[in-house]
Structure formats: C-alpha cells, structure tokens
Amino acid sequence: MKANYLRVSVTDRCNLNCLYCRPSNRVRQLKQDELLNFEEISSIVGLAAEWGIRKVRITGGEPLVRNNIIDLIKMLSRIKGIRDLPLTTNGVRLAEFARPLKKAGLSRVNVSLDSLERGKFARVTGRDSLLQVLRGIRAAREANLEPIKINVVILKGINEDEILDFVNFARGESLILRFIEYMPTNGSEQNSWYFSNARVKEIIERKWGTLKPLPFSFNYLPARYFKIDHTKVVLGFISPISQPFCHLCTRLRLTAAGKLRPCLGLDLEIDLKKSLRGKNRDYEIKASFDLAMNEKLKERPEPLYPRNKYMFQIGG
C-alpha cells in the first residue's frame, strides 16, 4: 500500500471555537512567518504528486480565513497528477467563496455541521452562525462544488436527538451525510461525549428500515456508505473508535507549519520546511514521504489518538 491522499492544512486559525476541536485554555497560534507560504505549499504538493499523491484536500483550522486562499487553489489546480482537489470548511464564509473557489479549480467541498438548531449550534461552536453555514451550503450547490458532503460529529447529550433531522435535511437538500464518531484528542478525556455509529445507524433504521450497503466508495476510505431504500439518500459512517481503519488508510497530513505526519494519531512529525531550503530539496522531500509511509505501515494498537496537539493544530 502507498498513500495517494494528502491533507494540507493552511492555517491553525478558525472563526469558530468547537467543543471537540479547541481547548478551553489558550494555546499559542502560529505566527504568519511560521506558516508555509503558498509557493512552499505548491512546491511540496508538486513533489508529492511526482511521488504518487493524487488527491489533495485543503483543511485548517478554517481554510477560508487564510488570506488569498483562492490564489493557492489556482496554483494547486494546475499541478500535474493531482486529480482531485476538495476542501473541508465550517461553511461560515462559504457563501462568499463558493463561486471563486470553483472558478479557481476546486473540485468540491465538505462542510462540518453539528447542529441544525441555532442555540445548539452556538453552544457547540461558540458562535451563532448557523444561518451563514446554511447559506454557504446552498451557494456551494449553485456553484457546482458537488457532491457536497456534510460531516456531523454526534456528541452524546448534545446533538444525538438531531440524527433523524440531519437525515431529513440531507434528503431535502440532496447532500451526502456522514456521521463521524467523536475522537478525544490531546488527552482530552471527554469520553462521556462518545456516541457510537452503531447506535446512530440503529436509530436511522428504526425509522427507515435496514440501510442498503453501497458497493462503492466516494473517492476514498474511511467512510462506509449506505443508502436508504427507495430514496436517493446516501449516508456515510466514519467510525475510528468502534471500527478502526488504520490498516486501510491511504492518507498523509501536512500541517500549516510544514510538518508531515504519517497519520492523525501518530505524534511523529517530519519537518519539510527545512528540506525546502536545502540543496537537495526534491530528493529530501520525496525521501520524507517514504519515511512517513514506512512509519504509517508499522503495526500499532488501534485506535490511536494524537497526544501532543489538538485537532486544529494538525489539520481537520
């Protein structure tokens, strides 16, 4: 197995403050000169494409708060070998950016959305921005940034009562809905929030009957996809806790500071920024991808959790 998918974080900053992503205590954010600039990101992605990467997903933090993000999308969309260039966003600024993103060469978007109720949305994210996110989803559809996937983290005691509402929302808006199990990161032991996807699936099947497994996957693992019978509703389940998929994962991660990570759960990071400025840049960066892949393939107990960084520092 060789990785063909690179997640590229462009910032550790975000315009939301989600419960499961950011800590309550202040964590130092990267300074501007610590971030990879667009030329550096483009150089790494170009070499990654030569190495074998075919899909690049732009993440953050919130990628749409990075200044001039459209310029980066244009640069990456021109790189030979990259066949798929999606972006994950919280949707707050998506209405403003949807058309320029599409014009720049972006393939599609995933939108993180954990409540359809304004009050609850504000509780989870720290900001009353639900209406902006819903406008952003509509704008993405109008711009043809499709298929649009909605990523929902179900948190016990907070939003598990909205599971059926989310299915109806996806059904009405022609969206792909994906339920993601909550993962504690950086040692945050909020295990009381954990709500298994088996329970999510059971709730849905009580209402609509047995879900029909789909014999294909949209682009890449780790989601397992199902269809509600006699409808066009597609549901995905990403279950890192109850059904670990590390042995099937084909992705690597690049942090906004230029560190290459074999996976979300490993704290190992390889500094590509130093290699970019070395005499043997191309060789060293490709060798770093080889090293990351070798680490990724080592057998480890599952599931794994990152312990030295929070999700927004790694790249969502």
pLDDT of amino acid 72: 98
* Lowest-confidence region among 207-221, 229-243, 286-300: 207-221
pLDDT of amino acid 299: 67
Q: What is the CATH number of the domain that holds 127?
A: 3.20.20.70
The DSSP 8-state label assigned to residue 192 in this structure reads G
Greater model confidence, 298 or 121: 121
Q: List pLDDT tens digits, range 132-157.
A: 999 999 999 999 999 999 999 999 99
Provide the percentage of residues in the chain whose pLDDT is more than 90.
72
The DSSP 8-state label assigned to residue 288 in this structure reads H
C-alpha separations of 309 from 6, 17, 29, 66 in Å: 19, 16, 12, 20
pLDDT of amino acid 144: 98
The DSSP 8-state label assigned to residue 89 in this structure reads E
pLDDT of amino acid 130: 98
C-alpha separations of 26 from 17, 185, 258, 307 in Å: 11, 16, 22, 17
* Lowest-confidence region among 82-96, 111-125, 202-216: 202-216
**Domain count within the chain:** 1
Question: What is this structure's pTM?
Answer: 0.93
Provide the residue range defining the domain that includes 184. Answer: 5-314
- Which residues, other chains included, contact 106 with Cβ-Cβ below 8 Å and sequence gap of 6+? 58, 73, 77, 85, 86, 87, 145
Q: Which two tokens stand for residue 29?
A: 């954010």
Whole-number Å distance between alpha carbons of 237 and 34: 35
Chain mean pLDDT for the chain: 90
